[in-house]
Structure 1
Amino acid sequence: MNAAPTADSIWEESRHRLIRATLVGSLIEWYDIAIYGQAAALVFGTLFFPDFSPTAGLVAAFATFGVGYFARPVGALIFGHIGDRYGRRTALVGTLLLMGIATVVIGLLPTYASVGLAAPILLVLCRLLQGLGVGAEYVGAVTMVAEFAPVHRRGYYSALPACGVFLGIGLAAAVSGLVATLPTEQLMSWGWRVPFLLSVLVVGIGLLIRLRVPESPVFAELREARKRTRVPALTMVKAMPARLLLVMIANGPLAFNIYVVQTYALSYLKGNGVPGSTSLFALLVGCAVGAAVIPLVGRLSDRTGRKPVYLAVSVFCALISFPFFWLLDTGNPTAILLAFALALGGGCLAMFGSQAAYFAELFPAAYRFSGFALGREIPGALLAGPAPIIAVGLVAAGGGAPWLLAVALVVVALASAVAVAVLPETRGAELAPMVAVDGDLAARGS
């Protein structure tokens, strides 16, 4: 009788397929987010809110961007429950389909000029559906890889899906940059739709790859041992509320700072007379730097520990906040490229490299998906969605100068560092399923 395959043997057989599947899923997720954010910054105010003043139209467009973030915790609950109860792979297929369909539909929507008030209402509905899917996509990808990967290289491999995140942002910047070169009339009539419609191609490829990925061996063991919890999220909140809160705070820069840099900064540069093509190219450069740095940071966390790496990145995010705006205010293209390379690539994006394995290791297997997802998406609802609007308000309060906004970025980054300092070190942690103890659940070996 043949022995059951081990996690190591499944990993060796499926490693390349698994990495591709998680990369392409995260690529699609963040491509969808980025093209929406870029469209909100550059064209949605005119297309869907033409009766507003330019500033009010921009705020309204950013508000529709933020709506999706209020749906993300709901998506985290739904798909986190599916992932912890019915399988990581099942949840990942569902998030991919929901995100892709919603994005393509946005590219087909009529504008305000065609159907009036129905246009922004339909836009908000599509954005809500996007948010539901996004609420667990990245977390599911990282959880799958973390539960497969060898313990001594978990930080490196778990960081790789985040490269897909920023390859997605980079692809969106590249596509939007090409579309932005169209004459204004063509851009506003059909050109803005192209980035959304192209999503269908990437989703189709991603679905084919993802359907061939095996289930996580950790979840398979949970299912076989009948150790799944009935309501994973509720069990997690009862078992470790303080840890969930600290994870939420630690995620702050990826819920606020990153959206100020990748979304609000585009409209800030536009208001300072910088061409859209320049700012989008700078965004692309920042994403390229991030895609290179993320796996290096993940590998470093395998060697030195999760906490010191995460702390260093959080502090760097604080230190770069004021220089980021100083460089933007020069209006010099080279300085703007450097600003995005440092603040986006070397700061916010590098945090993904230290966060991936760390957050997966902080939660036990029976509610890992739910804990990780809610720890990321609740601060997303509180900070990420409103981030561009908060940014507009803080800059306005500063008389057009960004110093108040820079202070906010510093505060969020330093709060993250404090939360990480309180959290435990987890490098080398066992990710195996839970065992029952006195009617409750506790980590094996604890």
Structure 2
Amino acid sequence: MSSNAEHAYRIGVVGPSDLVSLVKRVAALEFTDHLVVPLTYRGEAQAVDVITAHPDVDALLFTGVIPYTLAQTAGALTKPATFIDYTGATLYGALVQLMSNGHDPSHISIDTLARPLVVESLAHVGIPTGDVATMEYHSGIDAQRLAAFHRQHTRNHPGSVAITCVRSVYELIREDMPTIRLAPAIASVRTALDTLTMELAGRISSDAQVVLGIVELPEPDDHLADDIRALAGSVFPTGSSSYVLVSTRGVLAQHTCDWTVMPLLEQLAERHVWVRIGLGVGRSAADAEVLARRAVERCRTAGPFTAVVSVGAGRDFVITDTEADPDRAEEPLSRHIAARRAGLSQATLRKLEAAVAAHPDNKVTAADVATALGIEPRSARRTLKQLERAGLARPVGTVGSGAGRPAVRYAVRLDT
């Protein structure tokens, strides 16, 4: 990492000149410790050459997913890198512009963005999506193909508006049809800079890995920022009742007692009828974002008050607030639902069932669980905590009267 007396990091911003200037303005106001190095291009295909010509930066921030993907495919990303997200606040801003100009947002065509994210955003504000056309960007798709997609949609839906994330596409179609070019919202730029800064700091220690979180609530919450202070993180609104939070792995692991409890979930459950918190822990900001989106999707099927921490490699920790819904603990549970709530595999649940059945009173200790699963006692204690938070186990006393801390006994209910 290179630095000087005035700046902690040199962040290369890769994109067209107008968007690079936007990032510079945000950084000048809120990230004054960093030096923004403009890496501008006239077309996305020049992104790799621009990066190669400036090896002295500490990290790379791309103004869109296309140049990021091109650089990734070319193997040019040898340092922390991320791109600005165009969903959330950015997309909502375009919809407001669209409707204020008298256009129908239910017949638009949108390029680059994934359809599920577009549909979710439009449905959130009550816009029908049956006639909305999307074309997600994949490696190999160029500006000409994206432009052809918009032209075809306009032929099928005369008067529709094209929304593009790509400057070169905008230049190709703006004379042919009503066109809006998405420009990142200030909140999206801020989030990208914040997550990239966290990732740079995370190179110092694995405990400082970046954590990106998505919080979804049924209504706005003015007190959320105060709650997030306990995570030593930042929170930014991305919609009327959805938020992005940024923290670090070390702080989050401590806050959740190694992924077993979630005080933030409990606090929010006191104020809302449902809560979803998806947290992604990644080595890069882009990885953390992908994991966070997967985690929040999993929340939708795991109960009304749920947090999921995804640490990659298929490992998810599911935390539910059973106290927020006391009737839930009495519901019959199938094994797969029990496994999902506890964040355990069904195979692990089957082994636990055998261990519990071996004790006539259905009461086990961490030592019993460790023996049954072939794991360390510390991991067994964490497993019992997960079962407790899922409403499948409860502490009922201790055993042992000799030296050392008595072992906690848990009454475990895994039957369907």
TM-score by length of 1: 0.28
Higher RCO (CA < 8 A, seq sep 6+): 1
Which has a greater percent of strand? 2
CA radius of gyration, larger in: 2
